[in-house]
Amino acid sequence: MNRIYKTMEPSVVDEQMLQKAVEEQGPQDQAGRIAKEEGIQYHEVIQLRLDYRNILKIDHLWEFTSLTKLQLHNNLIEKIQGLEKLINLEWLDLSFNNIQVIEGLDTLVKLQDLSLYNNYISVIENMDPLKNLQIFSLGNNLISQLDNVIYLRKFKNLRTLNLAGNPVCKEENYTIFVAAYISDLVYLDFRPLDEQTRQKAFTQYQYAIEEMRHNDLQEQRATEAQKNNEEELQLHKDAFVEHLNGSHLFDSMYADDAEAAKLAYLPGVATLLESYPCLTQLVALCVQIFEVGLTQHTCRQNEMDAFFTGFQDAVADNQQRGAEIAADFERSRRQVMAGMQQAANNRLEARISNYRDEITQLCHTLMTLELQLVGQLEDITKDFERNISDMVGGFIEYCRDLENHHHEKLLEIAVATLEKVAKNELEEDLPDDVRLLFVDKDTAVSAVSASHDTHLLKIDNREDELMTRINSWMTALIKSIHDEEIKRNRKRISEIHNYVDYVREQLEELHLQEHQ
């Protein structure tokens, strides 16, 4: 493997290198001048070339969140790192470096084309999240184990693979083996896999492939089942009603209740527990709230969709109206420039002033529409918060009422048992630790009250959890939309001012030329 630049001074990706690269690769005309004046916005960069720069360490790329293509080939990179924030990356070239281990790719789930050609990699690994991978170049590395290629079976979209130049390619059945285990592959080592090769591969590895396909199918079914369960639970969490579609709340009330186990021995308590409202009314209510929660979640989503659709329509209307005003201005500007040779200076100044007023009006119109959108958003979120709070509040109060009813019944049984113990009329044989609860009325009532307090604490905790998450969701939602609106606002105003400044400069230049 030929390595270049080894005698040159290594470098690290830093702010100066990034700024220079973006400026060189960005627009060079009026748009480029404006970009430099405003400051480079790394989060808007789509493609970036950092090749042939003697880079030893990848760093400072966290702001490039919109990047889809990154070229880092022909450097001195020894470790794949610093790419965690590039979640939109689709094309990554790390060829001709000094990389020994495949790592640091876990968040690049959109990656389709990956080149690690001409490195020092000996094992294919740590690529599980790259489900969208279509092209993988790993030629001129140190892959020596044929079985290691089986790892690539999990990439169902992989169509092009390059392993040429690896020790594994010297294996007698290399091509047949790869064609057999990666059956959807179209190109291997720059050549198409023909039907004859595929047929030979199937014949030679038929039984091993069938067993592996069976295992893959079982694994796929288990993965899909787990995914469905996770998605269902996430839906319940998004609706703030997870674990309310059953007796989870009732079970949790007794899980940490030390006195409940003792009180269960009292005559009539077992029957009470079986008929306890939580097993009928509370569980039914939980299921009802659960279903209402899912319905409300759907309603919230529908309202959010309607809101954002309206928002986008309003923005589109803004843009259309702005474009029409700008087009009218451009036509007028061209007329002014064409008539400059004949028009008097004071008349030109008046016309320029009129155009400035029109731009100011455009800015005012756009700002007004954006403020209307903010107001609409605030109304919607307030309705959300009010509706959910009412629903949760009613649910919690009903739970408390049911628990209070149960507490009263349990207290009646405890007092009756105390009287029987005092009169030595208790027929049931109670454990010693339970009998100790009935040495006097205060001890018995204290045990029942402690159990009651434990149950109420569980309900209070569930209420706090619901309200905290609802409020956090609301706060995050409002903040996110307001933040985006502020960004949009500032960007739009900046665009308008830049356009006005550009037009003014053009007019001033022509005006000066006319008077020279």
Residue ranges of E strands in 8-105: 11-12, 47-49, 55-57, 69-71, 91-93
pLDDT confidence of residue 230? 81
Residue 123: name the closest of 73, 163, 71 by CA.
163
Q: Kindly report the average pLDDT of the chain as a whole number.
A: 75
Tell me how far apart the terminal alpha carbons of the chain are, to the nearest angstrom: 66
Per-residue b or e along 156-174, where b marks 16 or more CB atoms closer than 10 Å to that residue's CB: eebebbbbebbebbebeeb
pLDDT confidence of residue 460? 66
For the packed helices 195-204 and 206-238, what is the interaxial angle rounded to 10 degrees? Answer: 90
pLDDT confidence of residue 276? 40
Average pLDDT, stretch 472-488? 75
pLDDT digits (tens, 9 = 90+) for 224-282: 888 888 888 787 777 776 766 766 655 655 555 444 444 444 444 444 444 444 445 45
Distance CA 462, CA 480 (A): 27
404 — pLDDT class (breaks 50, 70, 90): low
Across 262-266, 362-366, 390-394, 502-506, least confident range: 262-266
Residue 57, beta-bridge partner list: 12
pLDDT confidence of residue 45? 92
pLDDT digits (tens, 9 = 90+) for 7-63: 567 888 888 899 889 888 876 565 556 556 656 788 889 999 999 999 999 999 999
Average pLDDT, stretch 407-427? 61
pLDDT confidence of residue 228? 83
**Paired tokens of 264:** 């269960």
pLDDT confidence of residue 265? 42
Considering only residues 345 and 254, tell me which one the structure prediction assigns the higher pLDDT: 345
pLDDT confidence of residue 251? 60
Q: How far is CA 31 from CA 36, 41, 47, 493, in A?
A: 9, 13, 17, 16
138 — pLDDT class (breaks 50, 70, 90): very high
pLDDT confidence of residue 270? 47
Average pLDDT, stretch 302-311? 70
Residue 188 backbone dihedrals phi, psi, to 5 degrees = -130, 120
pLDDT confidence of residue 227? 86
**341: three-class secondary structure by DSSP:** coil
Most confident of 135-149, 311-325, 355-369, 442-456: 135-149
pLDDT confidence of residue 2? 45
CA-atom Rg of the chain in angstroms: 36
Considering only residues 413 and 175, tell me which one the structure prediction assigns the higher pLDDT: 175
How many residues would you count in the chain? Answer: 516
Considering only residues 413 and 112, tell me which one the structure prediction assigns the higher pLDDT: 112
**Paired tokens of 212:** 């592996």
93 — pLDDT class (breaks 50, 70, 90): very high
pLDDT confidence of residue 233? 79
From the number of C-beta atoms within 10 Å of its C-beta (0-12, 13-18, 19+), residue 463 rates as middle
pLDDT confidence of residue 268? 45
Residue 109 clears pLDDT 90, i.e. is over it: yes
pLDDT digits (tens, 9 = 90+) for 349-368: 666 566 667 666 766 765 67
Across 84-93, 248-257, 384-393, 505-514, least confident range: 248-257
